[in-house]
Amino acid sequence: MPVTTEVPSLEQLHALSPLQQPTYTDESGLAEVIRKLRKLPPLVFAGECDELRTKMASVASGEAFLLQGGDCAETFDGVTAANISGKLRTLLSMAVVLTYAAQVPIVKVGRMAGQYAKPRSSDSETRGGITLPAYRGDAVNGFAFTPESREPDPGRLLGVYNASAATMNLSRAFLTGGFAHLRSVHNWNADFVKNSAAGVQYQNLANEIDRALAFMVACGIDERVFATVDFYSSHEALLMEYEHAMTRIDSRTQLPYGTSGHFLWIGERTRQLDGAHVELLRHVRNPLGVKLGPTTTADTALELADRLDPEHEPGRITFITRMGAGKIRDVLPDVVSKVTASGRQVAWVCDPMHGNTFEAANGYKTRAFADVMSELNGFFDVHEELGTWPGGVHVELTGDDVTECVGGSDDLVEADLVNRYETLCDPRLNRNQSLELAFLVAERLTDGRIRRANPVQAYQPVNL
């Protein structure tokens, strides 16, 4: 439990000079938006956040694995049934692979229903001699390169609420309404099986699962247990006005929760120990993620853990490491071993995306599938050597056949990037690359070298 349950005021947070915030000129408009947001119902419920914290405690103790994924930046235009269901199906297919191929319970969390604000390396962008504010995500301004579009508009914060509510609503309906039934997931993959290596591998697994399902149904197990999944939302808690307005006191416990999403994380650029983001999030009861980049020291990680989780609460802290394929083997061991030696049990999750971005010769920002896998392999190797549990993956993906990351079994090359490059921010794995990654991760989890702390779990029936 936090030392104090008194949430700092927005003024107190601003006094800490929060980084990566938009500069709003329309102050009265902003005040009106904040007033409206404070009255709107929570997007998630405190009890669900507690439930996820308990699941994250299983991840930290080596009894479950986290699959967290979705767009780098969600967009308002992307709030369509096709787009949302494509991402959910991709995540579910990956979860099927990990659950059945790796025999480990999977905690499923979308980078969805709230991921609308982006930190940027520069406040401005210059094109053809014209300099305008950088695009900071649909939560802040428009992507179009015009002065009007790039002006931060506080009204967009209400757009974030609405887009998150619509996404959450559809996800909840889909995932409890039969869409998540194993057979539906298999059917969705059926067409794409024919022309992809990961697809064929998926079909073999699906056939095995279908036989097992038929057997269980014949034994009298109600098929409906295979039809619903637990799914949670997550995003980077970046914008002070929005996150503060969505922080609410839970009527059951009188404790504060961030109700903009179940799992909130603090980004690599805003995790200063005395900064506003740490100050706000240390007061809410949600499970929290903290990104750790290649310059992270063990002391920094420990100080962050002490500040955000003084009581060593199970499931409270997830360290999402994103060090880059070339650095992870050098930087991660010291951080993990010292945090572990301190007696803390945190969840360790690998984000193999953000340390591996580069600009292709044709100007596209991309990532190589081989680098993504190399960082993941480094992550598994380090944890294997230290005897700690590699608790999960955090990836940027979409359900569409985009061409944003190079490599993978389809062997996308830089010249392919032009075909379907749709992200407004970082390059995402497409559906095929996502499934391929799931198989490779499953292999690492089952090659006999990585062992769960509690293998008994593997033999309990798993409700997808």
Task: Report the interface residues with ligand PEP, using CB under 6 A.
Answer: 72, 119, 236, 267-269, 291, 322, 354
CB of 62 to ligand PEP, least distance (A): 24
| Nearer to Co ion among residue 371 and residue 426 (C-beta) | 426
* Residue 324 token pair: 């880059």
Question: Which of Co ion, ligand PEP, none does residue 322 bind to, with CB < 5 to 8 Å depending on kind?
Answer: ligand PEP
Question: Which of Co ion, ligand PEP, none does residue 291 bind to, with CB < 5 to 8 Å depending on kind?
Answer: ligand PEP
Distance of CA 389 to the CA centre of its chain: 19
Candidates 301, 1, 45, 21; CA nearest to 172 is 45
Report the first-to-last Cα separation within the chain, whole angstroms: 30
| Nearer to Co ion among residue 205 and residue 325 (C-beta) | 325
Candidates 96, 295, 355; CA nearest to 210 is 96
| Nearer to ligand PEP among residue 119 and residue 275 (C-beta) | 119
Question: Which of Co ion, ligand PEP, none does residue 309 bind to, with CB < 5 to 8 Å depending on kind?
Answer: none
Q: Which of helix, strand or coil describes residue 186?
A: helix
Identified binder of Co ion from the candidate list 83, 426, 433, 437, rule CB under 5 A: 426
What is the Cα–Cα distance from 192 to 202, expressed in whole angstroms?
A: 10
Distance of CA 361 to the CA centre of its chain: 29
| Nearer to ligand PEP among residue 322 and residue 431 (C-beta) | 322
The answer to the question of residue 317 lying near Co ion (CB under 5 A) is no
What is the Cα–Cα distance from 380 to 56, expressed in whole angstroms?
A: 19
Identified binder of Co ion from the candidate list 72, 209, 280, 288, rule CB under 5 A: 72
- What residues contact residue 11 under an 8 Å CB cut-off, 6+ apart? none
The contact mask relative to Co ion for 218-237 (x = CB under 5 A, - = no) is --------------------
CB of 441 to Co ion, least distance (A): 19
Q: Which of helix, strand or coil describes residue 319?
A: strand
| Nearer to ligand PEP among residue 65 and residue 265 (C-beta) | 265
Helices 431-446 and 197-218, axial angle in degrees (round to 10)? 70
What is the Cα–Cα distance from 438 to 194, expressed in whole angstroms?
A: 18
Interface stretch with Co ion, choices 84-92, 176-184, 234-242, 425-433 (CB under 5 A): 425-433
Question: Which of Co ion, ligand PEP, none does residue 268 bind to, with CB < 5 to 8 Å depending on kind?
Answer: ligand PEP
Give me the half-sphere count of Cα atoms (radius 13 Å) on the Cβ side of residue 119: 19
Give the interface size with Co ion as a residue count (CB under 5 A).
2
Residue whose beta carbon is closest to ligand PEP: 267
Cβ proximity of 294 and 268 under 8 Å: no
Ordered DSSP codes for 107-121: EEEES-SS------S
Question: Which of ligand PEP, Co ion, none does residue 138 bind to, with CB < 5 to 8 Å depending on kind?
Answer: none
Interface stretch with Co ion, choices 25-33, 71-79, 331-339, 357-365 (CB under 5 A): 71-79
Residues that bind Co ion in the complex, under the rule CB under 5 A: 72, 426
